[in-house]
Structure 1
């Protein structure tokens, strides 16, 4: 079957996968709620850069080596779990610190040091690259949409670019919707609850990643 004929099924699969809950969704929602749409942009781009790299790794066979290697898979799993737990503890710490401010809007509180664009971008890249499930997913997902006779690397690179484009549009749309309610989210009481819940979710996802086997 020709690649063009497979694109609608590929796009639908990407949309369904993108909507599934997990570390990516938790990170984007918290970032957009706390820092607004502009604050979520580098996180989304970092996540998608990591995804694109995994797709290229899958095309070159590196992802298969990672998935097949017990040591490499374990190292990535531990690194990813530790990083998610770290992000969760940061959210809990923010929730605890906000207790002293009552219900005042965050805009009226003493400003905290702003996270740099590259730091937020880097967090997204690390969350994606340190997820060994992403390697296993790429190995299983992309070959289904590479027609026989097509060059594997070039076709995978094109498909990954399409996936990244779709996901950036979806995630930025989600971030924009959440960001519209930014002032409400950034009230101290609401933000404290949001930080507590998102921290719990991130820690739970980290623990699940740590204990999950292949």
Structure 2
């Protein structure tokens, strides 16, 4: 199989994978709704940085070791579940703290650009959610070898394919964030934001519980 000939199928697969619901999508949608597309940028970049690290680990054979190790897989599963539960409970607390705000309370239709501290915190959350997901390791070792032609170096080819995946997903996710961000003034209405925090918190907690309960 020629690498260039395999690229269209690879891009289609990446698009389909990116559109599937999960922790990444939940984080991006909430961040875009409340902070606009600029606020979603660090979350997207953090998720893609974590994805690229897992892709390099897959190319180097490290992801296979993680997936094969019961202890490593369990640790990652517990950490990943804890991260999702933490983010979910934090959203619940935000919804609870805002319960007294009226629907007609003043809103900021144009949120300020994230400060360096909040930018890196959002980036770190995205990266941690991806890196602490053992399913990502299992996925990478099953996905990339299908598109690496025989005789080509696995690590270098995987690194190139992962760059393409990062580029495609970044465009898709930021496009989605831009669409959601256009309705940001509505999402930032106190009553709507309260419900959004409650719903996103429930989704993240459910994903965390599922990750904690699932086996391989």
Q: Secondary structure at the match of 2:99?
A: helix
- What is the total number of aligned residue pairs between the two structures? 211
Q: Deviation string for 1:119-155 (max 9, x for gaps)?
A: 0000000000000000000000000000001010110
Partner of 1:75: 75
* Structure 1 stretches lacking a partner, 5+ long: none
Partner of 1:45: 45
- Write the mapping of 1:191-206 to structure 2, written as runs, cut at 5 A: 191-206=193-208
Matches of 2:131 and 2:53, distance apart in 1: 8
CA RMSD of aligned residues (A): 1.4
How far residue 31 of structure 1 moved from its aligned partner, in angstroms, is 0.6
- TM-score normalised to the size of structure 1? 0.96
- Write the mapping of 1:104-183 to structure 2, written as runs, cut at 5 A: 104-107=105-108, 116-183=118-185
Maintained 8 Å contact 1:105/1:186: no
* Structure 2 stretches lacking a partner, 5+ long: none
Matches of 1:185 and 1:64, distance apart in 2: 42
Q: Secondary structure at the match of 1:101?
A: coil
Q: Deviation string for 1:22-70 (max 9, x for gaps)?
A: 0000010001111111110000000000000000000111100100000
Q: Secondary structure at the match of 2:194?
A: helix
Matches of 1:202 and 1:22, distance apart in 2: 9
Matches of 2:152 and 2:87, distance apart in 1: 41
Matches of 2:7 and 2:48, distance apart in 1: 19
Matches of 1:206 and 1:31, distance apart in 2: 18
Maintained 8 Å contact 1:88/1:202: yes
Maintained 8 Å contact 1:105/1:183: no
How far residue 106 of structure 1 moved from its aligned partner, in angstroms, is 3.4
- TM-score normalised to the size of structure 2? 0.95
How far residue 86 of structure 1 moved from its aligned partner, in angstroms, is 0.3
Matches of 2:35 and 2:106, distance apart in 1: 13
Partner of 2:93: 93
Matches of 2:107 and 2:201, distance apart in 1: 19
Q: Deviation string for 1:55-113 (max 9, x for gaps)?
A: 000011110010000000000000000000000001001111111211124329xx9x9
